[in-house]
Amino acid sequence: MKEKLEHRSFLLMLVLITGLFFYLLKPFFAPLFWACTIGLLFHPLQSRLERLWGRRPNVTALATLVICVVAVVIPVLLVLASVVAEAANLYQRIDSGEINPAAMVDKIRDALPQLEALLDKLGMDMASLKQQAADSAVTASRFVAQNALSLGQSTFQFVLYLGLMLYVAFFLLRDGRTLVSMLGRALPLGAEREQMLFDKFAEVTRATVKGNLVVAMVQGALGGFIFWLLGLPAAVLWAVAMAVLSLIPAVGAGLIWLPAAIYLYAMGQWGAATILVVYGVVVIGLADNVLRPILVGRDTKLPDWLVLLSTLGGLALFGINGFIIGPLIAALFVVVWQMFIRDFNPEEIPAREE
């Protein structure tokens, strides 16, 4: 009786202290999450370096981290700097009246009366759409102004989080195998399940990041290129917007390039508008269908409806990091239930069609 009480008390204390520890790390969730992501994504590269240079954990981990910084971190920082600059410039043009969204809606209505008739059939009023465009521009410009003002104030925090992310990523790259081994000893799931769970977690994380971020970056880059080629303003800003929207299935980059094409048609630029539509459908639209199966693979690819729900849910709960965390949780949910069915109800698994 005494041993059972001690055992339960210890487990309770273990749960409480573990919960307090994770609560303590809550303010640093984002840098720690991306440090773990870097460790998983670049572990194969570190393994190759180890095969070339031998078992030198500090050297290979540092070299891998330097490659990550040069190939990923610095380009992302440069893109963010360009986005901030273009967003500030766009705000100034809206604030000065050089760009008037309400006037743009009027031009589209005058040039494309069929569009107004279509919107009327859908129960949408052109006047309310005009007011919404003006209000959205004011809201967006105010958001840009506030964030541009706070950018200098939050620079220290951004640099701190970036340094923390790289610092933790180095130790995860260097000591990742030891940490995984310790975690496996701590989890009472059985060696086979633990190994399968770890393997699936790493596989799903890489697949989710590659299948979502890489495809979104490619679609955003393709969209930004055609915007720049056609002379549309703020090409980098719209490229990032298309990349973000590309993370959400059933929405995609078309939410940016399609209105731009309609505006070009309204302005009489039929050639540029047609090029944008064809390019958007053929090049940007098909990039997802071509790249995602290659980067993700058939085994870990989630249905689009599940990716949509998990992405929106992750965004609501975790902010911008939810674009990765949401689909990752959904993929792990599917994997864990597949393991459960395999272990406890093997006869219920349907035969795979050839």
What is the domain extent for residue 334? 189-344
Q: For 337-346, what is the mean pLDDT?
A: 75
What's the token pair of residue 69? 């910084």
pLDDT attached to residue 179? 80
Q: Would 120 be classed as within a structural domain?
A: no
Asked if 245 and 92 count as a contact pair (C-beta separation under 8 A), the reply is: no
Kindly state whether residue 315 falls inside one of the protein's structural domains.
Answer: yes
Residues 214 and 225 sit within 8 Å (Cβ to Cβ): no
Q: What pLDDT, in 10s, does the model give residues 124-170?
A: 555 665 566 556 655 655 565 555 555 555 677 778 888 999 999 99
CB 91 within 8 A of CB 148: yes
d(CA 341, CA 348): 7
Residue 119 lies in a domain: no
Residue 240 lies in a domain: yes
- Which residues have CB under 8 Å from 101's CB, separation 6+? 94, 133, 134, 136, 137
Max CA distance (Å), the chain: 86
More confident residue, 129 or 274: 274
Rounded CA separation 318/302 (Å) = 20
Nearest-angstrom CA–CA distance, 187 and 176? 17
pLDDT tens digits for 277-324?
888 888 887 777 777 666 655 555 667 677 778 878 887 888 777 777
How many Å apart are CA 252 and CA 274, to the nearest integer? Answer: 19
Integer Cα distance of 156 and 199 in angstroms: 37
Confidence of residue 350 (pLDDT cuts 50, 70, 90): low
* pLDDT for position 353: 46
Give the number of domains in the chain: 1
Buried b (16+ CB within 10 A) or exposed e, 9-23: eeeeeeeeeeeeeee
Q: Mean pLDDT over residues 82-110, rounded?
A: 67
**Assigned domain for 17 exists:** no
Confidence class of residue 12 from pLDDT cuts 50, 70 and 90? confident
Instruction: Report percent pLDDT > 70 for the chain.
Output: 71
Distance between CA atoms of residues 162 and 180, nearest Å: 24
As a residue count, the chain comes to 354
CB 239 within 8 A of CB 227: yes
Quote the pLDDT of residue 166.
92
Max mean pLDDT among 1-5, 158-162, 246-250 falls in 158-162
Q: Are 270 and 279 in contact (CB under 8 A)?
A: no
Task: Let me know: does 105 contact 69? Beta carbons within 8 Å.
Answer: no
Whether 2 maps to a domain, the answer reads no
Average pLDDT over residues 236-261: 78
In a domain, 143, yes or no: no
User: What is the share, in percent, of the chain residues with pLDDT greater than 90?
Assistant: 4
Mean pLDDT of the chain: 76
* Any domain includes 64: no
